[in-house]
Amino acid sequence: MDIQKIGIVGAGQMGNGIAHVCALAGYDVLMTDISQDSIDKAMSLIERNLDRQVSREKISAEEKAASLARIKTTLTLTDLGPCDLIIEAATERETVKQAIFEDLLPHLKPHTILTSNTSSISITRLASRTDRPEKFMGFHFMNPVPVMQLVELIRGIATDEETYKSCLAVVDRIGKTASSAEDFPAFIVNRILMPMINEAVYTLYEGVGNVKSIDEAMKLGANHPMGPLELADFIGLDTCLAIMNVLHDGLADTKYRPCPLLTKYVEAGWLGRKTQRGFYDYRGETPVPTR
């Protein structure tokens, strides 16, 4: 199927990045959110990120202007009905995602493909609550979307080949690389990444090292560009905890048990960069470890 118009549900850090790369690749984009403030912030961020690409001579000023012109916004979810492809990038809670798809269904065209940017939730289960499980896929971008090259494509048990090929063509057109994953909890990237982050939190919890020593050890000893606790703050500790819970519940293995310290930080509302405090305190000029 020739996809021309892409609808994006959610204008947060993932949604605005997806809108950015899709518009830059020539797709017409309609982005929705429940908050006008979130939409305004998203459009400002997209413009700043495009400006950065212009300053680095990755794109021209004309390409920037054309990309911005292709992005339209709405507060009404059902306005996305005429889109050829819809990418849901709302919060990582299954009930929220199910409610979004339920509201969209009566307004969709017969050929519309539904996808979710979920980082861990069962695609088969989400698809089963819609009228088109064969036209439903996981479309998992990495954060930050304009920079990261990978997209995980996850087929549910009912996803047909035409849907997969249509989504693969979108990944190719936006200049990214697709990795096909089976529909098991957390797919590939987070199945490997999140237990590592969780183990780093356990290492902190048990006093093996402090925040600074753990992050420095992994950056300098394993050549990671970012330490695991710094990365957790970047992702959001609530998201890390949600994915660990999906792994623990879905695979019933104690090795996926979320560290109690991670739970405590989330309960405190210290979710990382987005709340200015997590394993680091970001309220000053430079981040300061909180333990």
Residue of 82, 76, 90 whose CA lies nearest to 107: 82
Between CA 278 and CA 235 the distance in angstroms is 11
Residue among 98, 84, 94 nearest 8 (CA): 84
**Phi, psi at residue 151, to the nearest 5°?**
-130, 125
Task: Name the residues annotated as catalytic.
Answer: 119, 140, 152, 190
Sequence-ordered list of residues with C-beta below 8 angstroms from that of 48, at least 6 positions apart, any chain: none
User: Which residue is it, tokens 């970001």?
Assistant: 282
Angle ∠(196,201,204) on CA atoms, nearest 5 = 130
State residue 72 phi and psi, 5-degree precision: -110, 155
Q: Which residues lie closer than 8 Å to 165 by C-beta, 6 or more apart?
A: none
How many angstroms separate the CA atoms of 59 and 68, rounded? 13
User: CB pairs under 8 A, 24+ apart, for 250-254?
Assistant: 250/122, 250/184, 250/185, 250/186, 251/184, 251/185
Beta bridge partners of 7: 30, 86
Q: Which stretches of the chain are assigned E, i.e. beta strand? A: 5-9, 28-32, 71-74, 85-88, 113-116, 136-141, 150-155, 177-181, 280-281, 288-289
Distances (CA, A) of 142 to 107, 249, 278, 283: 29, 23, 21, 26
d(CA 202, CA 196): 10
